[in-house]
A = this chain, B = another copy of it.
């Protein structure tokens, strides 16, 4: 659990890799805690849970909790529990999301609902959610429980909001931002904030960590949604074109639709609202986005949120870890690989 590996910091590595190396011991402890706590005598549970938990995700959210706790000088062990709890909440959300969206794939592999069916996905999601709360209880911090139970409610609210905005081009940018903030940024900001809560840093620091997570989460999602139309697969996210095929209303779509002429409006209404798509439609969508600067506009927004994230952690004393969190912002926004 030392930070000695941090001395070997190599700036040619991607920030997530640097963070994973700096926090390697902590992350290994999180991994074994995840394995322990998804266990059950009902064998289907660890099978379904492992399908996602062991799928080799980047563990962005647990890394944020671990990094925030370390940044605040936390010396205990409870950050491991919280990082695992945050990952379980995320996993439960993914399991339910894939059922709700009827997704066939997750991270390029068959989704749990495809492999095991909807029923186990719903129930194992519930199980992991309960396990997350058990882990939080073990930290003995009511503040942490308060933050993460509120966050879980906000995430569900975001998911329900999204049902209404999903294929609806009348969605405003503000409504769309509210969905992103609830669905993605809320868990990012809670993940960083609880690290500070554990360490017992002053409110201003906890708030700074919350702001960092919130803005990073929004930047992450805006960039992810933009990359879906950049013709390249996101590193942490999904395959290019997925959103379009699902008729998902994201910021680039809203921008392109707002700037559209009549023919273009008809195109978006057909492909996104009616989801009647033909060969070549995705290429045409990308052309229209290029024409109206919709992708670069969304990425500019992402960068602005990213700048606010950077600003928020500037109040912390300089350290390799702070630099890595700073670099992570740029990586999240400008990853194109």
**CA A140 to CA B146, docked complex, whole Å:** 10
Kindly provide the distance from the CB of A53 to the nearest chain B CB, expressed in whole angstroms. 16
Give the total of A residues in contact with B, Cβ under 8 Å: 41
**CA A296 to CA B183, docked complex, whole Å:** 51
Closest to A147 in B: B137
Query: Which A residues from 94 to 153 make CB contacts under 8 A with B?
Result: 96, 99-100, 118-120, 122-127, 129-131, 133-134, 136-137, 140, 142, 145-146, 149-150, 152-153
**CA A157 to CA B128, docked complex, whole Å:** 10
Contact B142 A45 (CB under 8 A): no
Contact B96 A156 (CB under 8 A): no
Contact A122 B96 (CB under 8 A): yes
Contacts of A260 in B (CB 8 A): none
Contact A156 B100 (CB under 8 A): no
Q: Count the copies.
A: 2
Contact B96 A44 (CB under 8 A): no
Contacts of A137 in B (CB 8 A): 142, 145-146, 149
Contacts of A125 in B (CB 8 A): 126
Q: Does A55 have its Cβ within 8 Å of any Cβ on chain B?
A: no
**CA A119 to CA B45, docked complex, whole Å:** 22
Partner of A153, one of B44, B120, B131, B146: B131
Partner of A126, one of B44, B124, B159: B159
**CA A145 to CA B155, docked complex, whole Å:** 21
Contact A161 B96 (CB under 8 A): no
Q: Does A163 have its Cβ within 8 Å of any Cβ on chain B?
A: yes
Kindly provide the distance from the CB of A46 to the nearest chain B CB, expressed in whole angstroms. 11
Chain A interfacial positions (CB closer than 8 Å to B): 40-42, 44-45, 92, 96, 99-100, 118-120, 122-127, 129-131, 133-134, 136-137, 140, 142, 145-146, 149-150, 152-153, 155-157, 159-161, 163-164
